[in-house]
Copies of this chain bind each other. A is one copy, B any other.
Amino acid sequence: MTGVKHQKWWGWGVEGIGFNPEGKPNFAPFVKKQIDLDISAPGTPPKFEDLDVPSVVIDESLRTALLDIVGERYLLDDDLDRIMHTFGKGVRDLMRIRRGDLRRVVDVVVYPADEAQVQRIVDTCVEADAVLIPFGGGSNIVGALEPLPDERRTVVSIDMGRMTKVLEIDDESGLARIQAGALGPQIEEQLGRRGWTMGHFPDSFNHSTLGGWIATRSTGMQSDKYGDIADIVHGLRAVRHGEVLVLRPLPSTSSGPSVREMMIGSEGRLGIITEAWVDVHRVPEVREIVGYFFPDFTSGIDAMQEINVSDAHTTVTRVSDANETQFSFSTQRAAKGRKKLEMKVLFGVLKRRGWDLDKMCLSYIGFEGGRRYVKANQDIVRTIVAKHGGIVVGTGVGSVYDSKKFDTPYIRDFLLDRGATADVSETTTPWSNLRHLYATTIEAAQQAFEKCDTKGFIMCHFAHSYHSGACLYFTYAVPDNDRTTSYSTYDTVKRAVQQNFVDNGGTVSHHHGVGTEHAPWIAEDISPAGEKIQRALFEGTDPGRHFNPGKIIHDGKPGVAMYSADAPAPGGVSGLEERESVTN
């Protein structure tokens, strides 16, 4: 055993942890009402022995060379490890696993102990004309880990799970040098012992790594204060063929187009990130998440916008739309005693004020800093919330959010076990376009549900305020997952949502990255000229296509994800000629 823990091969999180609807009396009726699904039947998680895993493609000489680098314990090529390293946790990954639609599986997984071993692995693989795909926590949901379906060369997955250390803290500068394979909790635990926090808490926090955050341009929940990962990372090291890219921890620089920024979001295509220097902050005296209610989504967004241009400073700004608010209520344990009474009284007051409780929206705002500073910020926010018709619910609701914030993916697996499909899509757009983009996306999803003749559900929250705009995060579900037919219902809905983003002023992804799932929209997102620039960068730095080829830049049919129902069957992927042609 390598000692490196992984998520379930078939779903989110580690074995033994999942969503349990017991004690949540509103959940089953909610699901029944929204997507007409009866959740009382027991779930049916997949069985590994049902999978027909293709055999390993590797020359004995390459295998021996890799063994020589990492040793027998740290080279795995059994079917379970190969499957675990081929798929992320996108709903398409999980659907495919459940129906045995595997296509090209990685051939061998190696676990380097340090950067020197990464260098030897990279050089060996490039010289043997093999393909390298880095693996962090395996949590990505955009198909960033899977080899190209028609890849004929050996595919090596580099699992960074042994490189998990905080190597150095520059206490004076608020910088820490951390190995790329460190998972969120490993980072915060090591930093916390010395009184520091990185402040980066994406939804995937428990199962994603620093290297993965950098490679996908991740954003954490507290980005209003701590910034996106691109703001947090100030230096890094990455192994390329025969060399290490070394970017020192500089606060800012004007040394040409930023190579640091090129590495952020590179998804393995520019090399294997081994460590990074990141901003760290002293754990603040006060840290509070306060809950608020707004009469509707628009008033909530209006308030967030006014907070953004006020003198207040927040760490989290989040508003759920009415559907997500109802969903949130449905997943709560039944309120009892005093809490139940308080909620009853509150809802009575709101009704008398004329609120339509079906339109009500739950909001969370985070504050950090010294006590006086936090109070001053909360005072400004309270006034703005009231101006927009909202009310303060308090830190009780806030701490519920704080303790449950990482749990939603388990509900997706629970639904998948029972035949329903749920996914998420997130985007950003300027403030002036947020309401329009929200309305058109809901409309696009509803039309897709109708087209597929299915009872679908879509909900949304606003999060991550920036000076000029914010993120809209949509979650949607349909009652069937095409278990025996194709992926067409899922594809239709997912495609409608993503297409609506780029058609209506949004980006194809705020923080999930591109992989193969979003690649079809890159030319529409950053314009064909932008796609050409990215392509020139990848082809110029990796002419042999050894580093996670086919990710980010679309290599197939425009508008069709590489592994969707409409994509060519394995062995017949188009676009290779185009990919290998000279750019410009």
Contact = CB atoms under 8 A, between A and B. Distances in A.
B533 A469 contact: no
Interface stretch (A40-48, A260-268, A560-568): A260-268
A400 interface: no
B259 A534 contact: yes
A243 interface: yes
Nearest to A373: B311
Contacts of A173: 430-433, 468-469
Interface string A518-546: 10001001111110111111011111000
A401 interface: no
A376 interface: yes
Nearest to A469: B251
A403 interface: no
A66 interface: no
B265 A257 contact: yes
A108 interface: no
Nearest to A219: B252
Given A261-B262, A584-B541, A175 B513 contact: no
Given A244-B527, A468-B175, A529-B243, A540 B256 contact: no
A413 interface: no
B530 A259 contact: yes
A53 interface: no
B529 A240 contact: yes
Given A467-B174, A528-B243, A256 B536 contact: no
Interface stretch (A11-19, A99-107, A148-156, A503-511): A503-511
Nearest to A377: B311
A553 to B, nearest CB: 8
A539 B541 CA distance: 11
Contacts of A257: 261-266, 270, 534, 537, 552
A230 interface: yes
Contacts of A470: 251
A581 interface: no
A245 interface: yes
A174 B306 CA distance: 12
B279 A467 contact: yes
Nearest to A376: B376
Interface string A228-246: 1010001000101101111
Contact of A543 (B250, B429, B541, B584): B584
A327 interface: no
A534 B536 CA distance: 11
B542 A540 contact: no
Contacts of A255: 265, 507-509, 514, 518, 522, 525-526
Nearest to A216: B254
A266 B174 CA distance: 30
A553 B219 CA distance: 32
Contacts of A267: 256
Nearest to A223: B252
A245 B528 CA distance: 7
Contact of A529 (B244, B251, B525): B244
Contacts of A287: none
A429 B256 contact: no
A88 to B, nearest CB: 15
Given A259-B533, A584-B241, A251 B466 contact: yes
B174 A254 contact: no
A77 to B, nearest CB: 29
A264 B258 contact: yes
B552 A253 contact: no
Contacts of A245: 527, 529-530, 533
Given A251-B429, A257-B262, A311-B370, 13 more contacts: A170-B430, A218-B254, A250-B506, A251-B464, A251-B467, A253-B428, A254-B507, A255-B265, A256-B522, A261-B262, A270-B533, A536-B537, A543-B584
